[in-house]
Amino acid sequence: MRLSLKKYQNTSMTHVEQADPHALISLIMQHILGNLAAAKGAIDRKDIENKNKLLGKVIGLIGELQDSLDMEKGGDISRHLYDLYSYMISQVTQANMKNDTSPLTEVGSLINEIKSAWDAIPPDVRRQYDR
């Protein structure tokens, strides 16, 4: 298991402590989506302090996804995901600077698409890579 996943797994949440690496990645993506939605609400309410905190969390969680990539074994897929995550961080940063929710909507769509594919990986395939 990658170091970043171990760090995320060491949080105080019980369900995280017992989660396998595949479930942890899915949980990180779910937290990104929740924080994006909350940040959009904060932007709409002009709650700058909360918006900054939430988008900081989003950037940190996307960074966790980047750190979890196995660049050696993952090849082109890992490189492309790394670049896509970098793009997402850039979009979140732009949304934060401009108080604009449209980049957050795009990032949410991208994360939803990746999460759907990730969650569709069959359990037997997941187990091959959890070792």
What CATH number does residue 103 fall under? 1.20.120.340
Which of 78, 73, 37 has its CA nearest to residue 54?
Answer: 37
Tell me the mean pLDDT in the region 37-61: 98
Write down the residue that tokens 């939803």 correspond to.
112
- Percent of the chain clearing pLDDT 70 (strictly above): 83
Residue 15 falls inside a structural domain: no
Q: Which pLDDT belongs to residue 17?
A: 57
**20 three-class SS:** coil
d(C-alpha 130, C-alpha 5), whole Å: 12
Q: What is the DSSP letter of 130?
A: -
> With bands split at pLDDT 50, 70 and 90, how would you rate the model's confidence at 99?
very high
Residue 79 falls inside a structural domain: yes
Tell me the mean pLDDT in the region 79-87: 98
The mean-pLDDT minimum among 6-20, 84-98, 103-117 falls in: 6-20
**18 three-class SS:** coil
Q: Which pLDDT belongs to residue 4?
A: 54
**115: which 2 tokens?**
């999460």
Report if pTM > 0.95.
no
Residue 72 clears pLDDT 90, i.e. is over it: yes
Residue 91 falls inside a structural domain: yes
Question: In sequence order, what are the residues at sequence separation of 6 or more whose Cβ sits closer than 8 angstroms to the Cβ of residue 40?
Answer: 101, 104, 105
Residue 14 falls inside a structural domain: no
How many domains is the chain partitioned into structurally? 1
Write down the residue that tokens 């918006």 correspond to.
51
Residue 6 falls inside a structural domain: no
d(C-alpha 44, C-alpha 13), whole Å: 30
**16: which 2 tokens?**
């995280």
Length of the chain: 131
H or E segment and range at residue 113: helix 102-119
Q: Which pLDDT belongs to residue 64?
A: 97
Residue 73 falls inside a structural domain: yes
Domain span holding position 53? 22-129
Residue 77 falls inside a structural domain: yes
Residue 8 falls inside a structural domain: no
> With bands split at pLDDT 50, 70 and 90, how would you rate the model's confidence at 126?
confident
